[in-house]
C-alpha cells in the first residue's frame, strides 16, 4: 500500500464503529483498520435528526488517531435524501427493480442538496494531500461538490451495491447528471466486473465516452479509473468469533433444537435434523419469498426431508418506514404460516423466521450449526453472509453454501458452492436436496476452495487495493479482465 501519502478521509452515510466489538459490518471492518493505520477522518451522518439538520454543529469523537465527525439531518432531509431518493429511487433501480423505483423531483432536489451540504461541511476539515474515499449510493454527487468547493486532491468512490445495465439506469431522470458527477472522482470502484462493465457501457452509449487501456474510461476531458474491488470480511477474526464461548452457546442451542426425540426404546440413540439457515436483512433484493418457495418445493418433491430438515431464517427488519418493506414482511409471514400449516407435525416445525438482531459472535455460532446456508438474492452487490458462513465453518464437518448466481460473491465462490437461479423454484429445491445429502469428503473439498478465496480476499485486502489505486490515480494501469 502506498503508505505516507497523507491521511485517509472516509465519507459514508453511517460512521463507525472503529473497533469491532462484535457488531461492525463489512464496510466498517475494512475501513477502520486502514483508518487506524494511517490516521484520518471518518465523516458522515450522526443518525440523528435535528431542526438545523446539516447546518448543525459538527460532533467529533477522536479514537486511535481517527476523528469520527458527524452531522445531523433535518426531518425533511432524512425523508427526501435517505428514504426518498436513496431508498425509493436508487436502491430498487440499481438492484434492477425498475418496477419498484419511484422518481420525484422533490427528493431528487433534496438528495443533491444533502450531497452539497456534506461536501461544504467536510471541506474545511480537509488537508491538501488527503486521500478522500466516498462510499455508496447515498453520495453520488459528493465528489463533484467537493471539486466545486475547490478540493484538488485525490477522491475515490466505491459503490457497495450493483450498478445496473444502462437500459435500466437510463430510466432515472437524473441518470446523466449522476454519471457525469461520478466522473469527478479519480477512481470508481465496483463490487464485480459486471457492475464495472455496466457503468462503462453507460459512459460509452449515453455520454459518448470511450474505453481506454488500464481499466480507464474517458468522457470529454475527464479520464477516470473504473475497476472492480470485491469487498471481503476479516476472515481470521470471523473464524475466531466462531469458536468463542458465545458462538458455542448458540451452536449448542441449535443442536438441541434439531434433536429428534424418540420414545422408541429400541432406537439407537438420538438423531438430528439437518439445519438450513438464511441470514439477511429483510429486503426484497434478498429473494426471501422465492427462497421460501424453494424450501416448500423441497418438502413437496423430496418428501424424505419432512421431519428431517429444518429451515431457520434470520431476517432483521430494515427500512420499515417504506411501504415495499412492510408489504414484504406481511407476505413472508404469510408464506411461513402457509408452509408450516401445510407440513408441520406435532414434533416438527419446518420453518422458523426471526426478525431480531444477533451479535456477530452469536451469528457465527448459528452459521457453524448449519448444514446448509441458503443465500439466494435476486441481485446483491457482494453478500457478506456467504463469506461469513464459509469463515465460520469447522474444517472437520463443514456445511454447504447454496448461492445465487446473482450475488457478487459468486465470482469468488462459485468453484466451491452450489450455484442456483433464485427465480427457479425447482433449481433451489434440487440444490437443497443435493446439499443436504452431500458426502463429507465432497463438503470438505468444496469448503477448502471457498476458504482459500475468503481468506485471501479479505476486508483489509479490499481496502488496501482501493487506496493503492487511488494513490496512483490515472497512472493506474492494469490489464482488462476478460470479457
Question: If residue 154 lies in a helix (H) or strand (E), which one and from where to where?
Answer: strand 154-158
27 forms part of the interface with ligand ADQ (CB under 6 A): yes
Q: Name the nearest CA neighbour of 169 among 189, 144, 145, 195.
A: 195
Decide if 95 is catalytic. Answer: no
164 binds ligand ADQ (CB under 6 A): no
277-336 binders of ligand ADQ (CB under 6 A): 279, 281, 314, 316
Name the minimum Å distance from CB 113 to ligand ADQ: 25
* Residue owning grid cell 469447522: 394
Residue from 33, 186, 195, 380 carrying the catalytic annotation: 380
**Minimum distance between the CB of residue 161 and ligand ADQ, rounded to whole angstroms?**
5
Measured from the CB atom, the residue of 294 and 408 that comes closer to ligand ADQ is 408
Residue closer to ligand ADQ, measured from CB, 314 or 436: 314
Dihedral sign (CA 72, 75, 81, 86): positive
- State which residue, 173 or 357, has the beta carbon closest to ligand ADQ: 357
Closest of 77, 67, 66 to residue 34, by C-alpha? 66
- Give the C-alpha separation, 380 to 93, whole Å: 12
Tell which one of 14, 17, 22, 25 touches ligand ADQ (CB under 6 A): 25
Span near ligand ADQ by CB under 6 A; candidates 24-32, 192-200, 220-228, 269-277: 24-32
- E strand residue ranges, 258-376: 259-260, 271-272, 274-279, 309-314, 351-354, 372-375
How crowded is residue 191: how many other Cβ atoms within 10 Å of its Cβ? 26
| Residues within window 371-410 making contact with ligand ADQ, judged by CB under 6 A | 380-385, 388, 408
Helices (H), ranges, 208-283: 235-242, 245-257
Cα angle vertex 266, ends 262, 267, to 5°? 45
- Residue from 6, 16, 26, 153 touching ligand ADQ (CB under 6 A): that is 26
Single out the residue of 357, 397, 477, 481 in contact with ligand ADQ (rule: CB under 6 A).
Answer: 357
Number of residues binding to ligand ADQ, judged by CB under 6 A: 21
CB of 13 to ligand ADQ, least distance (A): 11
3-state DSSP assignment of residue 2: coil
Residue whose cell numbers read 434478498: 286
9 binds ligand ADQ (CB under 6 A): no
**Which of 24, 215, 17, 192 has its CA nearest to residue 94?**
192
Q: Does 34 bind ligand ADQ (CB under 6 A)?
A: no
Q: In the set 90, 142, 231, 418, which binds ligand ADQ (CB under 6 A)?
A: 231
Give the active site residue among 95, 135, 138, 160.
160
Cell of 56: 448543525
N residues, the chain = 483
Is 464 annotated as catalytic?
A: no
- Cell for 295? 424450501
Residues marked active site are found at 160, 380
Interface residues with ligand ADQ (CB under 6 A) are 25-27, 160-161, 231, 279, 281, 314, 316, 357-358, 363, 380-385, 388, 408
Amino acid at each position: 500500500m502506498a503508505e505516507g501519502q497523507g491521511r485517509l478521509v472516509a465519507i459514508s452515510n453511517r460512521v463507525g464503529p472503529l473497533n469491532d466489538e462484535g457488531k461492525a459490518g463489512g464496510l466498517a471492518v475494512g475501513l477502520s483498520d486502514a483508518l487506524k493505520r494511517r490516521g484520518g477522518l471518518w465523516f458522515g451522518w450522526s443518525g440523528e435528526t435535528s431542526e438545523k439538520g446539516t447546518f448543525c454543529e459538527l460532533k467529533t469523537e477522536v479514537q486511535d488517531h481517527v476523528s469520527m465527525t458527524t452531522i445531523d439531518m433535518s426531518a425533511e432531509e432524512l425523508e427526501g435524501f435517505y428514504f426518498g431518493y436513496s431508498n425509493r429511487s436508487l436502491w430498487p433501480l440499481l438492484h434492477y427493480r425498475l418496477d419498484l423505483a419511484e422518481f420525484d423531483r422533490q427528493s431528487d432536489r433534496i438528495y443533491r442538496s444533502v450531497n452539497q451540504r456534506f461536501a461544504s461541511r467536510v471541506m474545511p476539515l480537509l488537508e491538501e494531500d488527503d486521500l478522500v474515499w466516498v462510499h455508496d449510493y447515498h453520495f453520488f454527487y459528493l465528489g463533484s461538490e467537493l471539486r466545486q468547493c475547490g478540493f484538488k486532491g485525490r477522491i475515490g468512490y466505491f459503490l457497495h451495491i450493483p450498478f445496473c445495465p444502462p437500459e435500466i439506469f437510463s430510466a432515472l431522470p437524473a441518470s446523466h447528471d449522476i454519471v457525469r458527477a461520478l466522473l469527478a472522482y479519480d477512481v470508481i470502484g465496483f463490487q464485480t466486473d459486471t457492475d464495472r462493465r455496466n457503468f462503462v457501457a453507460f459512459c460509452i452509449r449515453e455520454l459518448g465516452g470511450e474505453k481506454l487501456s488500464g481499466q480507464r474510461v474517458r468522457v470529454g476531458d475527464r479520464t477516470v479509473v473504473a475497476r472492480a474491488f470485491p469487498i471481503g470480511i476479516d476472515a481470521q477474526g470471523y473464524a475466531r468469533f466462531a469458536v468463542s464461548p458465545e458462538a458455542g452457546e448458540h451452536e449448542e442451542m441449535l443442536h438441541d433444537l434439531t434433536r429428534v426425540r424418540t420414545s422408541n426404546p429400541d432406537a439407537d440413540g438420538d438423531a438430528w435434523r439437518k439445519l438450513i439457515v438464511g441470514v439477511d436483512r429483510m429486503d426484497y433484493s434478498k429473494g426471501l419469498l422465492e427462497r421460501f418457495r424453494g424450501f416448500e418445493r423441497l418438502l413437496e418433491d423430496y418428501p424424505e426431508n419432512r421431519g428431517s430438515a429444518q429451515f431457520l431464517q434470520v431476517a432483521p427488519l430494515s427500512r420499515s418506514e417504506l411501504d415495499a418493506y412492510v408489504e414484504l414482511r406481511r407476505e413472508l409471514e404469510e408464506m411461513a404460516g402457509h408452509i408450516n400449516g401445510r407440513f408441520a407435525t406435532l414434533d416438527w416445525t419446518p420453518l422458523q423466521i426471526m426478525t431480531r438482531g444477533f451479535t456477530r459472535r452469536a451469528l457465527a455460532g448459528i452459521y457453524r450449526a448449519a448444514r446448509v446456508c441458503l443465500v439466494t438474492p435476486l441481485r446483491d452487490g457482494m453478500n457478506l453472509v456467504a463469506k461469513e458462513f464459509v469463515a465460520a465453518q469447522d474444517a472437520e464437518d463443514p456445511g454447504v453454501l447454496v448461492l445465487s448466481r446473482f450475488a457478487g460473491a459468486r465470482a469468488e465462490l462459485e468453484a466451491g458452492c452450489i450455484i442456483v437461479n433464485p427465480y427457479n423454484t425447482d433449481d433451489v429445491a434440487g440444490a437443497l436436496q443435493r446439499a443436504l445429502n452431500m458426502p463429507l469428503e465432497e463438503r470438505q473439498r468444496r469448503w477448502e476452495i471457498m476458504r482459500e478465496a475468503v481468506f485471501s480476499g479479505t476486508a483489509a485486502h479490499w481496502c488496501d487495493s482501493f487506496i493503492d489505486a487511488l494513490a496512483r490515480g490515472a497512472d493506474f494501469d492494469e490489464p482488462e479482465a476478460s470479457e
